[in-house]
Amino acid sequence: MGKMGSEMLIYVLLLMAGVLASGQSSQVKIWPMPASVSYGHTHLYLTNDFGFSSNYGSEILKDAFDRMLALIKLDHVIDANFSAFNSSSLLQGLHIVISSPNGQLQYGVDESYKLIVPSPEKPAYAHLEAKTVYGALQGLQTFSQLCYFSVTSRVLQIDMSPWTIFDQPRFSYRGLLIDTSRHYLPVPVIKKVIDSMSYAKLNVMHWHIVDTQSFPLEIPSYPKLWDGAYSPSERYTVADAADIVSYARKRGINVLAEIDVPGHALSWGTGYPSLWPSKDCQQPLDVSNEFTFKVIDGILSDFSKIFNFKFVHLGGDEVNTSCWTTTPRIRNWEETFNDFGNKLSRKTVVHNWLGGGVAQRVVASGLRCIVSNQDKWYLDHLDTPWQEFYANEPLTNITNLKQQKLVIGGEVCMWGETVDGSDIEQTIWPRAAAAAERLWTPFDKLAKNPRDVTGRLAHFRCLLNQRGVAAAPVAGLGRAAPEGPGSCYRQ
Amino acid sequence: MGKMGSEMLIYVLLLMAGVLASGQSSQVKIWPMPASVSYGHTHLYLTNDFGFSSNYGSEILKDAFDRMLALIKLDHVIDANFSAFNSSSLLQGLHIVISSPNGQLQYGVDESYKLIVPSPEKPAYAHLEAKTVYGALQGLQTFSQLCYFSVTSRVLQIDMSPWTIFDQPRFSYRGLLIDTSRHYLPVPVIKKVIDSMSYAKLNVMHWHIVDTQSFPLEIPSYPKLWDGAYSPSERYTVADAADIVSYARKRGINVLAEIDVPGHALSWGTGYPSLWPSKDCQQPLDVSNEFTFKVIDGILSDFSKIFNFKFVHLGGDEVNTSCWTTTPRIRNWEETFNDFGNKLSRKTVVHNWLGGGVAQRVVASGLRCIVSNQDKWYLDHLDTPWQEFYANEPLTNITNLKQQKLVIGGEVCMWGETVDGSDIEQTIWPRAAAAAERLWTPFDKLAKNPRDVTGRLAHFRCLLNQRGVAAAPVAGLGRAAPEGPGSCYRQ
């Protein structure tokens, strides 16, 4: 009877596995959706010593593979008896071929990849091809989403094999802004955000380091600047910042460092009061004072030693000029653009956060643009549901092909007024993932109605939870708690 | 000028370090507060190869030391030039002496320890003494809270040396309940909860595995029981459960497994409908049916193979007897006690959750009691602030010494109706830490007014954030977001 019980159990589970465990196997559950996917109906099982081989001898690739393997093994103990499996259904490893030896991560690096499971030549292996190691990293992320622990087989399983996936991003800039001035974010918290970004194929962490409230970063040229930190322990040393950049680079993510001038600079004057127009008038920076520009030069020169991304963000938003007696001689950004856009250098990239058709005007004037209109892509707007993040199209009303190319991507913004180490993950996720698909997936493969991808997004959200990322339920608004008991896949 | 600047910086930081980085050095910042603490005013610096030696060759101790070291190194890059330090201020390692060879973790295990930094005999070492390895683990937690990364010295630093700490818990049972029936909690989420429990010296994870809503655990004797899981991927295999028990044991934490009978058993009938009184009447269990008891026996027998803690929790709460035509013949707990307490076996431990003087009556009748009155120690009651968790005294109105000894401890309860992998950490912390000090620290060392420990609790909360635990601000109610910008130590 017990025996019959277990046979029946396996039967029941096989049925249910098709429905849920494999992620509703009648549909592809990969997030973000790749450019091109074909699949079959065969089950494959990863052996316990599943490994990788490659023509490319780089630490980055080996570390990324080891991380991927640890991640898919994370949430269950694998205790199967492999002798019970048909050897033709066992997958022994992943072979990775990379054509370009260049390991530099820079803006616009080729992120395309091809993933074939199993390899037609070597059916016991999966096959991943990419031009660059960073394309291979994206392929590893996709591969990790094909694998899951099955309570039936008791091993890591891949359903719907054979898989053939061709993939590449729609936009080369897919960003997330974090803000370490309103609240200090401990380095381990930032690293966990970087990990989760890589799961959603975001590739730029825009680090809004400094603002009115605090100046947490060490600037060797002007060492009293971080006297403006909240406390001695709420600071990043140069070594910490370099560690964050290197950690991100190993995950295919660039760090865009922002030093917001001239508006939000109250915290600068704690160490150097002469940066303030006066004691009663402490921002914006006193741009009539040569010392102000020496400090900015010092910061940018120190930045160049830590941050190797091609862009540096100069903020420039919300400048209250009432304190000024002179005209600013430093370039700033969007609001400036509204005033004298055409005077900006052609090298300028305008980060559009006001929305309201600014992007159109920016590209019409021949400048490049990064879209993160606050009405749709501000994660601190808790009442903006994931559906609006998903539906926010960067090329809205931009029909001219040349102008479309000037939109290099977009960015969701996690401003830190009410976000710290206690709630940043569930405020970012899953809504940032909705924007990530908008920025990665070809336009014609995006859902016209976000409702159509709810189940797949819920699946990705549950995957984030399984990986220890505190992604909130898809049913709620920003960082909403689950409303009541239920399956993760239904909340 | 730049040079003068840095000298001034160091001066400023030394001043501020006394105030904040070391955790307001005019007070001890350890949480929970040890039984006895004395300290001085000297700074010590941990060398890069800080290691440990011991008379006790156990994997548990080595793993715990390595974890502790990784934890204190987690949040900053250590890049100091040690030759610049006065060698007499360098701490090269920790020597650990354990007197009992017994490595068994069981209820009531001796958790006392003595920590001396530096050792009077070997001033380059710290000295930790304990009767058992589990006492040493508690000592390592305390040691980890003496260390912090200083932006002045650029290394791990200990202030207020020399330290002499004698410590032991007030209560032997210091629990946290988690609920995997209302929402499935992925294994990595449970492991992270276990890690954070160890930081606060909690030592029992009460695992409320099954309830009305879902049956996530594999029971080999009755393999269709977990057909009552939310989905095939929201399940724990026997190997997963054993892995959790072993993970907890290595951190000095027992797992108390609960199988809640007979009330909340709707989910049992998905696989075995005959456990229901009838199709329309699906709980409580049909206790007039012998099969019900065979299944319970099967579950308890399977439990005994996974869970080695001396107690098993039988739930027994909220029994709606309207479905019953017969009298229950299985023992249940508190509500039953209210009816026929004196009929309960002397071996029974009553888990008091109703509150309202039940504990008094339980111990007056000679039974042991675990306190977790819902008006004070239910973490799902979001409107209960940490101050009430702190002030909840288990021995209230129990003056008789013999009866006081029958109160073996207490437990905070994280019921899962609105808690899953996205919000469990900030709903548990920092409020559970307030109860943890109530259960660990001698009564006469507890603050009469919780206000007096706010700064130290905020410090512990910030430490949890630095360790990647999403503890909420102390200023708010359960899992409240920070209200606005500010230092972690002030929120």
pLDDT tens across B405-446, in order? 999 999 999 999 999 999 999 999 999 999 999 999 999 999
Give the residue from chain A lying closest to B79, CA to CA: A239
Q: How far is B352 from chain A (nearest CA, A)?
A: 24
Q: Could you report the per-residue pLDDT of A331-387, keeping only the tens digit for each? A: 346 555 555 455 556 667 777 766 667 888 888 888 888 988 878 999 999 999 999
Please answer yes or no on whether B486 and A422 come within 8 Å at the CB atom.
Answer: no
pLDDT of residue A182: 97
Cα–Cα distance between A219 and A222 in angstroms, integer?
Answer: 6
Mean pLDDT for B252-273 is 89
Q: How far is A397 from chain B (nearest CA, A)?
A: 37
pLDDT of residue A196: 98
Cα–Cα distance between B233 and A75 in angstroms, integer?
Answer: 10
pLDDT of residue B2: 34
Cα–Cα distance between B28 and A232 in angstroms, integer?
Answer: 18
Please answer yes or no on whether A189 and B465 come within 8 Å at the CB atom.
Answer: yes
Question: Which residues in A110-236 belong to E strands, given as ranges?
Answer: 113-117, 125-130, 147-149, 156-161, 163-167, 173-179, 204-208
Percent of chain B beyond pLDDT 90?
A: 72
pLDDT of residue B322: 59
Please check whether residue B44 is in contact with residue B161, taking contact to mean a CB–CB distance below 8 angstroms: yes
**Contacts B10 to A, Cβ<8 Å:** none
Please answer yes or no on whether A213 and B485 come within 8 Å at the CB atom.
Answer: yes
**Contacts A416 to B, Cβ<8 Å:** 485
pLDDT of residue B335: 56
Please check whether residue B388 is in contact with residue B452, taking contact to mean a CB–CB distance below 8 angstroms: no
Q: How far is A151 from chain B (nearest CA, A)?
A: 7
Q: Is the pTM of this model over 0.90?
A: yes
**Contacts A232 to B, Cβ<8 Å:** 13, 16-17, 20-21, 150-152
Give the residue from chain B lying closest to A187, CA to CA: B75
Question: Which residues in A67-200 belong to E strands, given as ranges?
Answer: 90-98, 113-117, 125-130, 147-149, 156-161, 163-167, 173-179
Mean pLDDT, chain A, whole residue set: 88
pLDDT of residue B10: 37
Give the residue from chain A lying closest to B223, CA to CA: A6
Mean pLDDT, chain B, whole residue set: 88
pLDDT of residue A4: 36
The helix/strand/coil state of B28 is: coil
The shortest CB-CB distance from B151 to any of A230, A232, A418 is to A232
Answer whether residue B330 shows pLDDT above 60.
no
Please answer yes or no on whether A230 and B489 come within 8 Å at the CB atom.
Answer: yes
Cβ neighbourhood burial of A259 (10 Å; 0-12, 13-18, 19+): buried
The shortest CB-CB distance from A188 to any of B184, B467, B482 is to B467
The shortest CB-CB distance from B188 to any of A151, A466, A486 is to A466
pLDDT of residue B227: 96
Q: How far is B423 from chain A (nearest CA, A)?
A: 7
**Contacts B233 to A, Cβ<8 Å:** 20-21, 148-149, 151, 462
Residue of A422, A431, A466 to mutate when probing chain B, most B C-beta within 10 A:
A422
Pick the CATH number of B36-167 from 3.30.379.10, 3.30.2140.20, 3.10.180.10, 2.30.38.10: 3.30.379.10
**Contacts B473 to A, Cβ<8 Å:** 420, 422
Could you give the C-alpha distances from A452 to A16, A22, A379, A480, in angstroms and in order? 22, 18, 22, 22
Please check whether residue A105 is in contact with residue A134, taking contact to mean a CB–CB distance below 8 angstroms: yes
**Contacts B423 to A, Cβ<8 Å:** 426, 470, 472, 479, 481-482
**Band of residue B486 on the pLDDT scale cut at 50, 70, 90:** very high
**Per annotation, catalytic residue among B7, B290, B318, B417:** B318
b (16+ CB within 10 A) / e for A291-312: ebeebbebbbebbeebbbbebe
**Domain residue spans of chain B:** 36-167, 173-324+343-451+458-467
Mean pLDDT for B116-124 is 95
Q: Could you report the per-residue pLDDT of B268-303, keeping only the tens digit for each? A: 999 999 998 888 888 788 878 889 889 999 999 999
Please answer yes or no on whether B487 and A184 come within 8 Å at the CB atom.
Answer: yes
The helix/strand/coil state of A256 is: strand
The shortest CB-CB distance from A482 to any of B230, B232, B418 is to B418
Give the residue from chain A lying closest to B471, CA to CA: A422
Mean pLDDT for B262-272 is 88
Please answer yes or no on whether A418 and B468 come within 8 Å at the CB atom.
Answer: no
The distance from CA B136 to its chain's CA centroid, rounded to whole angstroms, is 16
The shortest CB-CB distance from B468 to any of A9, A189, A486 is to A189
The helix/strand/coil state of A189 is: helix
Q: How far is B411 from chain A (nearest CA, A)?
A: 22
**Contacts A193 to B, Cβ<8 Å:** none
**Contacts A148 to B, Cβ<8 Å:** 233
The helix/strand/coil state of B206 is: strand
Q: What is the CA radius of gyration of chain A?
A: 24
The helix/strand/coil state of A296 is: helix
Catalytic residues of A: 318
pLDDT of residue A337: 52
pLDDT of residue A294: 92
Please check whether residue B242 is in contact with residue B304, taking contact to mean a CB–CB distance below 8 angstroms: no
Please answer yes or no on whether B232 and A17 come within 8 Å at the CB atom.
Answer: yes
Please answer yes or no on whether B423 and A472 come within 8 Å at the CB atom.
Answer: yes
**Band of residue B338 on the pLDDT scale cut at 50, 70, 90:** low
The shortest CB-CB distance from B76 to any of A187, A484, A491 is to A187
Cα–Cα distance between A319 and A328 in angstroms, integer?
Answer: 10
pLDDT of residue B309: 82
Q: How far is A443 from chain B (nearest CA, A)?
A: 31
The shortest CB-CB distance from A237 to any of B77, B148, B240 is to B77
Please answer yes or no on whether A237 and B148 come within 8 Å at the CB atom.
Answer: no
pLDDT of residue A328: 40
Q: How far is A303 from chain B (nearest CA, A)?
A: 17
Cα–Cα distance between B406 and B403 in angstroms, integer?
Answer: 5
Cis bond leading into B162, ω under 30°? Answer: yes
Q: How far is B210 from chain A (nearest CA, A)?
A: 13
pLDDT of residue A101: 86
Please check whether residue B34 is in contact with residue B166, taking contact to mean a CB–CB distance below 8 angstroms: yes
Q: ipTM of this model?
A: 0.91
**Contacts B7 to A, Cβ<8 Å:** none
pLDDT of residue A331: 38
**Contacts A466 to B, Cβ<8 Å:** 186, 188, 421
Please check whether residue A230 is in contact with residue A184, taking contact to mean a CB–CB distance below 8 angstroms: yes
Q: Please, where are the H alpha helices in B384-482?
A: 386-391, 401-406, 424-428, 431-440, 454-466
Pick the CATH number of B173-324+343-451+458-467 from 3.30.420.10, 3.40.440.10, 3.40.630.30, 3.20.20.80: 3.20.20.80
Which pairs from A249-252 meet CB under 8 Å and 24+ separation? A249/A60, A249/A105, A250/A60, A250/A63, A250/A64, A251/A64, A251/A137, A251/A194, A251/A195, A251/A197, A251/A198, A252/A105, A252/A111, A252/A134, A252/A137, A252/A138, A252/A198, A252/A203
User: Which residues of chain A, if any, have pLDDT below 50?
Assistant: 1-25, 325-332, 340
Please check whether residue B437 is in contact with residue B32, taking contact to mean a CB–CB distance below 8 angstroms: yes
**Contacts A423 to B, Cβ<8 Å:** 426, 470, 472, 479, 481-482
Answer whether residue B342 shows pLDDT above 90.
no
The shortest CB-CB distance from A8 to any of B21, B224, B491 is to B224
Instruction: Give the residue with greater pLDDT, B372 vs B31.
Output: B31
Please answer yes or no on whether B472 and A423 come within 8 Å at the CB atom.
Answer: yes
Q: Please, where are the H alpha helices in B366-453?
A: 374-377, 386-391, 401-406, 424-428, 431-440
CB pairs A-B closer than 8 Å: 240
Cα–Cα distance between A306 and A302 in angstroms, integer?
Answer: 7
Residue of A16, A189, A215, A233 to mutate when probing chain B, most B C-beta within 10 A:
A233
Q: One fold for both A36-167 and A173-324+343-451+458-467? A: no
For residue B339, what is the DSSP state? H
Residue of B8, B233, B386, B463 to mutate when probing chain A, most A C-beta within 10 A:
B233
Q: How far is A453 from chain B (nearest CA, A)?
A: 20
The shortest CB-CB distance from B5 to any of A213, A224, A422 is to A224
